[in-house]
Amino acid sequence: MGRWVPDARGRLAKAALALYSERGYEQTTVAEIAAHAGLTERTFFRHYADKREVLFAGSQELQTLFVDAVAGAPRDAAPLEAVAAGLDAAAELFTDRRPFARQRQAVIAANANLVERELIKLASLSSAIAATLRGRGVTEPAASLTAEAGVAVFKVGFERWVAPAETRDMADLMHEALDALKAAVAARGQ
Amino acid sequence: MGRWVPDARGRLAKAALALYSERGYEQTTVAEIAAHAGLTERTFFRHYADKREVLFAGSQELQTLFVDAVAGAPRDAAPLEAVAAGLDAAAELFTDRRPFARQRQAVIAANANLVERELIKLASLSSAIAATLRGRGVTEPAASLTAEAGVAVFKVGFERWVAPAETRDMADLMHEALDALKAAVAARGQ
DNA sequence: AGCCTCGATGACAGCAACTGACATCAATGA
DNA sequence: TCATTGATGTCAGTTGCTGTCATCGAGGCT
């Protein structure tokens, strides 16, 4: 075997989620996470920029998948329909990860600092979607607004998907949320 | 005169914005802010929960005004129209504060930690609007989605309002953004 | 006047997040 | 064989933030 136990990054992420779940985010020190992964505090910060980031390793993957789906939507699809393709891709990504997502979301919801980090990840997703829409010829401010609307749908759909009693597929919930948005915005305004 | 120079809170906020603008957020220590306000570091933390919060003292006022306008919209107004009333109230609040808003926004945009804090303030605004809409009889997920859409409009409108060359009124920009959202969401989806 | 309570601030010690600098040493490959 | 590389360890230092106790003028009560 090599000089070090493999996958230090993964071990840190696993240890962090476990400890944050058990005793809470604030009550967990980085040194403890590192020790549980058989590493030192300094090494933790070589793998993750800060104590929060360790919970958001997958957000880049989500963004890439979402954006690629938007970019790959039929050329004649309306902007919001292209975003809907991204929502479908996201739903597929999360298939079979519901228990993990629930545990992780419980940790995040319990701490405002973690919620902040999640929000900036979603803002980054929104920016990337908007840029992709502009690449499809959508002009501002329509691109940004469509992207923001799409992320709002994702947020609402995701929230429902991780809700305790929920059993429906994420794709169904995303479609429901998207339809609800269309209805809400279309409702008899002057 | 009193035992202490008045308005410690305001002096801290003023000193913080000035220092963050001059030398950057990260390069400014809380002790320096406090010193410029004629106070100690410990007193800073008695007025503001952390180093970021000092830039967001006004967000509660915005939220209250926005929410009150939504609650006070005509009983028969559609949810999105009620939110539009909130946007108008927000626009009024910012009248004559453009230079301040520009300076503050430049500071925030330059640091990810400050952006995070701004995002959670907007998320709080969205939650409050959604709750108000539910109070008007709007059901979920329409309430949350309408609120998120409204905040998206606010974000886009505000961004444009603080843009360097922009001279139009915030109310005009908010209306434009709202119309763009309606158009984008209504666009020929199946 | 004399006294008391209150509240904003100061002083100080301490923890933990994060960073920079340098050392270590198995694996790798020329 | 040996120099290089790269992930990790070690250690010292800064700073955000907190708990605790002291200070002392203002304002009320007698």
Distant-in-sequence, close-in-space partners of A161: CB < 8 Å, separation ≥ 6: A94, A98, A101, A168, A170, A173
| Nearest CB partner across the interface for B185, out of A185, A188, A190 | A185
| Nearest CB partner across the interface for B145, out of A123, A145, A184 | A184
Mean pLDDT of all residues belonging to chain A: 97
What pLDDT sits at residue A75? Answer: 95
CB contact under 8 Å between B146 and A78, yes or no, is no
The three-state secondary structure class of A40 is coil
Tokens of A45: 């910060």
Alpha-carbon span B46 to A172, nearest angstrom? 48
What pLDDT sits at residue B190? Answer: 46
What pLDDT sits at residue A77? Answer: 97
pLDDT in tens, B47-84: 999 999 999 999 999 999 999 999 999 999 999 999 99
Distant-in-sequence, close-in-space partners of A172: CB < 8 Å, separation ≥ 6: none
CB contact under 8 Å between B123 and A146, yes or no, is no
Optimal mutation site among A115, A145, A146, A154, interface B, most CBs of chain B within 10 A: A145
CB contact under 8 Å between B120 and A142, yes or no, is no
**DSSP letter (8 states) at residue B74:** -
Please say if the pLDDT value at position B188 is more than 80.
Answer: no
Q: Average of pLDDT values for B178-186?
A: 97
What pLDDT sits at residue A189? Answer: 59
Instruction: Give chain A's residues under pLDDT 50.
Output: 190
42-81 in chain A: CB under 8 A from chain B: 78-81
Angle between helices B98-109 and B142-162 (to 10 degrees): 100
What pLDDT sits at residue B1? Answer: 61
Domains defined along chain A, listed by start: 8-53 (1.10.10.60), 58-186 (1.10.357.10)
Mean pLDDT of all residues belonging to chain B: 97
Chain A partners within 8 Å of B79 (Cβ): 184, 187
Distant-in-sequence, close-in-space partners of A9: CB < 8 Å, separation ≥ 6: A47, A57
Measure B3 CA to C8 C1' (Å). 9
Measure A14 CA to C3 C1' (Å). 63
What pLDDT sits at residue A188? Answer: 76
Residue for token pair 């228990």: A99
Total number of residues shown for chain A: 190
Task: Tell if A75 CB is < 7 Å from nucleic strand C.
Answer: no
Q: Average of pLDDT values for B169-179?
A: 98
Tokens of B125: 């605004």
Q: State whether residue A139 sits within 8 Å of chain B by CB.
A: no
Q: By the 8 A CB rule, do B184 and A80 touch?
A: yes
| Nearest CB partner across the interface for A185, out of B112, B155, B181 | B181
CB contact under 8 Å between B148 and A156, yes or no, is yes
What dihedral do alpha carbons B81, B85, B86, B88 form, nearest 10°? 130
Chain D nucleotides close to protein (CB under 7 A) are: 6-12, 15-20, 24-27
